[in-house]
Amino acid sequence: MKRPDKTPVGKWLEEYVAELPPAAEGLSHHMVLDGETKRVMVSVPDSEHPDFIELLMLTDLQYGHQGFQEKRFEEYRSWILGRPHCYVSLGGDLVDAATPISVASPYENRWEPSVQVMKLVGLLRPLRSRIVGYVAGNHERRTSKTFGNAGALIATLLGVPYSRGVQLVDLYYGKHNPFKVSLWHGSGSARTKGAKTQMVHRFMSQADSDVYLCGHLHDVVLVFDWRQRRAGRDKMALDKVAGIMSSSFQDYWNSYAEEKGLYPSDTMMARVQIEKDGHWGVELR
C-alpha cells in the first residue's frame, strides 16, 4: 500500500479499504458500550489448528516517534504472518501522538498525530485477520483534547474490537471452553521491578481470566499465581494464572527514558501458547 504522504488524502481511504484483509475468522463482539467492545469471543476451528494456537501481544509501538524501531516491528510482523495459528492482541500506545499541549514534545515526532494514524494502519493492515483485541493507551488519549481519542480512529480504520480500558477475550479452542484473557494497557510511573510487578499483580486480581496482558512501563514482567476452585464435595483444585507485561518498540537512546535515567529495555512481547488438550504456557519473545 502507498504511504499516505504519496497518495491524495481524498483517495487514500478508497485505496486502503480495497486492500483491507478480512477480520479474524470466528470473532464476535459482545458487551458493546458506547461503541466499545468490552468482551470478544473467538471460535477457533480445531481442524485448522491441530495442536496449539498462539496469542502474541503487540504493544507500545509509539509509531511516529523518532525512536520507533520499524525494522524490529517488521520482524515481528513477518514472524506472525508465517505462523497460521498465531493471533494478535494490541496493547495500546500504538502511536506516539505528541501534541503542543501534551507532556512530551511534538518535535520528537516525525508527523502530526493524524498522519501517524494513517501510516500506522498501513503497517498493521496485513495483520487484520489475526487481531482479536485492542485496548488503547495513554498515548492514544493524548489527542482527546484535539480531535478525539486516536485509538477509536485506529480501530475504526482497521475494523477490530476496541476498548479504551479493559477488554476480555474468550478463545474457544479444543478443551478450552474458553481460554480467558484480560487485556489492559497499564498505568502508573513505577521505576523499580517490584513496583512494576505490583501493578501487574493488581491487574491479576480482577476478573476470572487465565492470562492478563499489559504494557505501558516499557519493561518485562512475568508473574504466576494460583486460584483455589471447588472441584467437588471433598476436593479443591488449583488453577494457574499468569500476568505478563510486554516492553516496547521504542529505542532507549535519545528518548525520555534515557533523559530521565530510566532502566533500558529491549523489545520483548508476551506470547501465550494454548494447547488443544487444555494445557497452556507463556513466554516473552
Segment among 141-150, 157-166, 177-186, 233-242 with least mean pLDDT: 141-150
- What are the backbone angles phi and psi of residue 252, rounded to the nearest 5°? -70, -40
DSSP 216-230: SSSS-EEEEEEEEEE
Exposed, middle or buried, 228 (CB in 10 Å: 0-12/13-18/19+)?
A: exposed
Please report how many Cα atoms fall inside a 13 Å half-sphere around the Cα of residue 188, on the Cβ side: 18
Q: What is the mean pLDDT of the chain?
A: 93
Sheet holding 86-90, edge to edge: 131-134, 86-90, 52-58, 270-275, 280-284
- CB of 133 closer than 8 Å to CB of 182: no
Tell me: the pLDDT tens digits for 15-68?
888 889 999 999 999 999 999 999 999 999 877 667 999 999 999 999 999 999
- Mean of pLDDT values over 200-219: 97
> Could you tell me which CATH number the domain at 28-284 has?
3.60.21.10
Per-residue model confidence (pLDDT) at position 266? 93
Q: Give strand ranges (E) for the chain.
A: 27-33, 36-43, 52-58, 86-90, 131-134, 167-173, 176-183, 211-214, 221-230, 236-245, 270-275, 280-284
How do residues 79-108 score in pLDDT, each as one tens digit? 999 999 999 999 999 999 988 888 777 888
Mean of the pLDDT values across residues 193-210? 97
Q: What percent of the chain has pLDDT over 90?
A: 79
**Is the per-residue pLDDT at 3 higher than 80?**
no
At 1 the pLDDT is 46
Q: Cell triple for residue 16?
A: 486502503
Share of the chain above pLDDT 70, in %: 97
